[in-house]
Amino acid sequence: MTAESGILWYVIGPSGAGKDSLLTYARGRLPAESGVMFAHRYITRPADAGGENHVALSAEEFDARERRGCFALAWRRHGLAYGLGVETAMWLEQGLDVVVNGSRSSLPLAAERFPALQPLWITASPEVLATRLAGRGRESADEIARRLREAGSFAPPPGCAVLWNDGELAEAGERLLALLINGPARSAASAPAARR
C-alpha cells in the first residue's frame, strides 16, 4: 500500500445494532465526489436472505474463489463464509476510502492485511438490541441471550470510533456521514459525544 492509500472503514458491532441500516443510509446520501466506496461482501447465503446487499455464493463457489486468490480477506462465522473481493485492495491503492461490513473475530487479520484500517464499532444499549433481535423473529430466546452476552463481552480496541444507534436512524446516520466525510481525526473527537 502506498502513502496515498485510502482508509478502510471496518464496521463491526453486535447483531441488532443497525449496521446494515446505517450503511444503507450513508451510502444513499454521500456525494459522488466524496471518494468513499462501499464494498459488497461475498457470502455463502441466499441473496434474498435479508439484511445487507451481498453477492451470494455457494460454498463450492466460495472455496474455488478463495483458492484462486479472488478475496482480499476471507473468514468464517456462524456457519457461513464471508469474503471481501480483491477490488477492495485496488480501491484503497487508488486512494479511495472504502467502507466494509466486517467481523469482530476477523479484526486482527483485517488490521494486519490493511494497515490503513479504521475500526468503527456500531452498537446500542442491551435493551434496544434485545428488542430489535426479538423483532426480527430469526432467533430463539436462548440465541438472543447468547448474542447479548457476546455483545457485552466485547471491548472496542484502542483507536476504534464508537457510534451509538439507540434512537432514530437519521441521528446515527448523520453522525456516520460526518465520520466518513471528515475522516478518523473526527472519529476520535466524536466518540464520547456519540451516545444518545
Domain of residue 174 covers: 8-40+95-193
Return d(Cα 193, Cα 196) in angstroms, integer: 8
Residue 73 lies in a domain: no
Number of domains into which the chain is organized:
1
Residue 159 lies in a domain: yes
Strand runs (DSSP E) across 117-160, as ranges?
Answer: 117-123
Amino acid at 157: P
Mean pLDDT, the chain, rounded, equals 87
Residue 185 lies in a domain: yes
Question: Among all chains, which residue has been given the C-alpha cell 439507540?
Answer: 166
CA-based radius of gyration for the chain: 16
Residue 126 lies in a domain: yes
Q: Is the per-residue pLDDT at 140 higher than 90? A: no
Q: What is the CATH number of the domain that holds 140?
A: 3.40.50.300
Residue 176 lies in a domain: yes
pTM above 0.75, yes or no: yes
Estimate to the nearest angstrom the gap between the alpha carbon of 14 and the chain centroid. 10
What pLDDT is attached to residue 120?
96
Contacts of 62 (CB under 8 A, 6+ apart): 42, 44, 74, 81, 83
Return d(Cα 148, Cα 38) in angstroms, integer: 28
Residue 23 lies in a domain: yes
Return d(Cα 90, Cα 109) in angstroms, integer: 18
Report the first-to-last Cα separation within the chain, whole angstroms: 37
* Residue 107 bridge partners (DSSP): none
**Burial (CB count within 10 angstroms: exposed 0-12, middle 13-18, buried 19+), residue 154:** middle
Residue 130 lies in a domain: yes
The pLDDT confidence band at residue 196, using thresholds 50, 70 and 90, is very low
The per-residue pLDDT for range 149-161, each reduced to its tens digit, is 888 888 888 889 9
CB 82 within 8 A of CB 72: no
The per-residue pLDDT for range 57-114, each reduced to its tens digit, is 999 999 999 999 999 999 998 889 999 999 999 999 999 999 999 988 899 999 999 9
Residue 151 lies in a domain: yes
